[in-house]
Amino acid sequence: MRPPFVSFFLFIVVAALDVILSSKPPPAAAASAAAANYVINLRNYHQIELARVVGPESIAFDCHGQGPYVGVSDGTILKWQGPRLGWIEFAFTSPNRPRKLCDGSTNATNEPICGRPLGLKFNPKTCDLYIADAYFGLLKTGPNGGKPEVLASSLGGVPFMFTNALDVDEETGIVYFTDTSTVFQRRVWMQSILAGDKTGRLLKYDPCTKEVTVLLHDLAFANGVALSKDKSFILVAESAPFTIHRLWLRGPKAPAFEIFAQLERPPDNIKSNNKGEFWVALNSGRGVKEVGNIETSDKWLNVNDPVAAKFDEQGTVVQVLDGEGGPALESVSEVEEQNGNLWVGSVVKPYVGVVKFRV
């Protein structure tokens, strides 16, 4: 990899040459500056540690920009109130959650009782928090949290098996979400990969009819979902074959379904930023020992350890987060861009990573 300071040095040289040759802004210098911005490294990285629990898989900020909120291993959703006040419990997902067993649990055996909130997203219009819990389905809680309402937990009488990720259209209240498998629960997720399971689905919940419909089926480990800024399409990650699909929801291309990006590492959650770009979390495979038998690429996208990539709406990678081969970002499940920071979630680590960068 070309170290960033070399790029920066070249940029200075090109910029200096240009001052000598012409007074107009040089396109070459602009290209160098863009290249220098392409890789986000860990120079400005810190961690917010969790107390007792692990696995802040998904990250959300509320309609006032407060947070992050994270769903963790003991079935609670925590809210970060800053370094002085720390984390507070905001909500939980299990309808009958025995605190003695669940509080502080990091044991996946307890998940079917305690819950495991995976996908989180606030509706910026209503301030409601939508939750995809791996065991209790699609849930919604108000701005004050607490026990959520169940929006949907089954389809055609068959319970969801592994509700995973979601996005919500704030205009219509329609929720798009994934059920990763109809056969395997989250706590045995590796078995789904090893068995070549292809029962994952992209689903849609309509708040007017309260009905769930299937948009895509036969996906091999259906995972992250994200709507485009104009809601004309939705992306869905299929983790096992390292693919991101695009389903057109509106406009001349609807309802076509196409490959948006073919990757060299398994994609996890997808989150859009306020420009309508998409951050895709990429797992290195290092952080989860069971992944030893999945071949993932190291150097790819011109960085040594791509742990997340930002795509524009055309499917071009415009920025990459380099995990630099270390343990800090070896297991990344989500990247959320907010306030000039990347907030990095993980399904196993006991912290939220924070990377400062300039937009």
Q: Which is nearer to ligand NAG, 66 or 107 (CB)?
A: 107
Q: CA 197: distance to chain centroid?
A: 22
Q: Does 100 bind ligand NAG (CB under 6 A)?
A: no
Q: Which CB, 111 or 197, lies closer to ligand NAG?
A: 111
| Distance between CA atoms of residues 86 and 49, nearest Å | 9
The distance of closest approach from Cβ of residue 73 to ligand NAG in the complex, given in angstroms and rounded to an integer, is: 12
Contacts with ligand NAG in 193-212 (CB under 6 A)? none
Rounded to a whole number of angstroms, the minimum distance from the CB of residue 133 to ligand NAG is 19
Q: Which is nearer to ligand NAG, 107 or 262 (CB)?
A: 107
H or E stretch including 112? helix 111-114
Which CB, 81 or 107, lies closer to ligand NAG? 107
Q: How many residues bind ligand NAG, per CB under 6 A?
A: 2
| Residue 107 contacts ligand NAG per CB under 6 A | yes
Residue with Cβ nearer ligand NAG (112 or 124) = 112
How many residues comprise the chain?
359
- Nearest 10 degrees: CA dihedral of 328, 163, 245, 155? 180
Considering the complex, state which of residue 112 and residue 241 has its C-beta at the smaller distance from ligand NAG: 112
Q: Return the number of the residue (52 or 229) whose C-beta is nearest ligand NAG.
A: 52
Number of helices (H), then strands (E), belonging to the chain: the values are: 5, 27
Q: Closest approach of Cβ 114 to ligand NAG, in Å?
A: 11
Least Cβ distance, residue 110 to ligand NAG (angstroms) = 6
Please give the Cα distance from 253 to 109 (Å, whole number).
Answer: 44
β-pairing verdict for 317-322 and 39-40: parallel
Report the residue from 22, 23, 96, 109 that binds ligand NAG according to the rule CB under 6 A. 109
Contact 347, 55 (CB under 8 A): yes
C-alpha dist (Å) from residue 233 to 74, 140, 169, 313: 34, 23, 11, 10
Rounded distance between C-alpha atoms, residue 241 and residue 255, angstroms: 22
Find, among 111, 130, 119, the residue nearest to 73 by Cα. 111
- Smaller CB separation from ligand NAG, 187 or 217: 187
Distance CA 175, CA 257 (A): 18
CB of 191 to ligand NAG, least distance (A): 17
Between helices 27-38 and 4-21, what is the axis angle to 10°?
Answer: 170
Q: Give the shortest CB-54-to-ligand NAG separation in angstroms.
A: 12
To ligand NAG, the closest distance from the beta carbon of 283 in angstroms equals: 22
Beta bridge partners of 356: 341
What is the nearest approach in angstroms of ligand NAG to the Cβ of residue 99?
Answer: 15
54 with 106: CB under 8 angstroms?
A: yes
Binders in 22-41 for ligand NAG, by CB under 6 A? none
Residue 213 sits in the site that holds ligand NAG (CB under 6 A): no
The full DSSP string for 183-250 is S--GGGHHHHHHTT---EEEEEEETTTTEEEEEEEEESSEEEEEE-TTSSEEEEEETTTTEEEEEE-S
- Asked whether the beta carbons of 53 and 106 are under 8 A apart, the reply is yes
Nearest alpha-carbon partner for 282 in 263, 304, 303:
263
The residue (of 116 and 245) whose beta carbon lies closer to ligand NAG is: 116
- Minimum separation from the CB atom of position 138 to ligand NAG (A): 27
Positions that interact with ligand NAG (CB under 6 A): 107, 109
